[in-house]
């Protein structure tokens, strides 16, 4: 994704491709636009695909939390004047999608979660990695996927940059702690939107039992597992992921 496609207006940075019903994508803690390239390319011929860039590293340190990110997404939707839409989130983005759906039931026609936090997640480990240890970051980033080769040098470099920037690293820790505090197990029964769960069978960060638990707790959900697939199915199995999502969105 070239950065020239990113629009900046009124304090919001976002990407918008295509026309049609809104399909809003919410990225994770280490997520970038490249994570959603497969979805954007596939769906922008019949949906308005919108990706707000979550300001995890820009917002005032006191606002770094899931509440702060939820408010940002709500303000973005209001600024754009969107009335209804489909919301999709990966990892931390899934967690925010759930909070958004619970708080704005009139907007979210459907919610799609893949490798979402909100119930249980393994973090980067209990200690933050040694700064400057590129091989460690490469190994950890590779473990996000079933096939470590999906972790391109570009992706590893981005994670390495975050971990080595003290300001960014602190924000990652704050956000991750806020996610753990915001366990949604007692709220998911209130979710109104039809929900699609696409999970990697080999996800080690939010393992398969997490997808099963979401399916159990959300009233109108359907769960699909993809084999030989880790924490980011839309990157690792883009064709299978898009086919499942396509069929689900067509139904709703």
DSSP secondary structure letter of residue 62:
G
pLDDT at 201: 98
Phi, psi (rounded to 5 degrees) for 33? -60, -35
pLDDT at 2: 47
3-122+183-251: what CATH class?
A: alpha beta
Question: What value does the mean pLDDT take over residues 162-183?
Answer: 90
Domain locations in the chain as residue ranges: 3-122+183-251
* Residue 195: strand, helix, or coil: strand
Q: What is the pLDDT of residues 186-224, one digit of tens each?
A: 999 999 999 999 999 999 999 999 999 999 999 999 999
pLDDT at 147: 96
pLDDT at 30: 84
Q: Rounded to whole angstroms, how far apart are CA atoms 150 and 142?
A: 7
| Number of residues in the chain | 252
| Unique residue bearing structure tokens 């390239």 | 37
pLDDT at 33: 81
Percent over 90 (pLDDT), the chain: 81
pLDDT at 10: 94
Q: What is the pLDDT of residues 85-124, one digit of tens each?
A: 999 999 999 999 999 999 999 999 999 999 999 999 886 5
Confidence label for 157 from pLDDT (cuts 50, 70 and 90): very high
**Residue 13 pairs with which residues in a beta bridge?**
8
Task: Tell which residue, 29, 27, 9, 36, has the closest CA to residue 17.
Answer: 36
- Between 166-170, 185-189, 233-237, the lowest mean confidence (pLDDT) is in 166-170
pLDDT at 207: 95
pLDDT at 5: 86
pLDDT at 1: 46
Give the mean pLDDT of the chain.
93
Question: What value does the mean pLDDT take over residues 232-252?
Answer: 97
pLDDT at 127: 52
């Amino acid at each position: 994704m070239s950065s020239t496609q990113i629009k900046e207006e009124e304090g919001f940075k976002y990407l918008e491709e295509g026309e049609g019903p809104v399909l809003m994508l919410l990225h994770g803690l280490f997520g970038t636009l490249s994570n959603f390239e497969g979805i954007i390319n596939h769906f922008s011929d019949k949906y308005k695909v919108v990706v707000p860039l979550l300001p995890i590293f820009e917002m005032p340190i006191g606002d770094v939390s899931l509440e702060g990110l939820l408010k940002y997404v709500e303000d973005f939707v209001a600024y754009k004047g969107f009335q209804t839409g489909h919301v999709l989130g990966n990892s931390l983005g899934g967690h925010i999608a759930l909070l958004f759906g619970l708080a704005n039931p009139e907007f979210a026609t459907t919610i799609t979660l893949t490798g979402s936090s909100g119930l249980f997640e393994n973090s980067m480990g209990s200690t933050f990695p040694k700064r400057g240890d590129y091989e460690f970051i490469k190994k950890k980033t590779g473990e996000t996927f079933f096939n470590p080769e999906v972790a391109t040098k570009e992706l590893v470099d981005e994670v390495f940059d975050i971990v080595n920037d003290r300001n960014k690293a602190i924000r990652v820790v704050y956000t991750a702690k806020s996610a753990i505090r915001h366990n949604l197990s007692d709220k998911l029964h209130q979710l109104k939107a039809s929900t699609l769960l696409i999970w990697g069978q080999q996800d080690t960060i939010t393992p398969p039992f997490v997808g099963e638990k979401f399916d159990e707790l959300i009233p109108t959900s359907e769960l699909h597992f993809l084999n030989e697939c880790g924490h980011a199915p839309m990157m690792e199995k883009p064709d299978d992921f898009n086919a499942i999502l396509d069929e689900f969105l067509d139904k709703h």
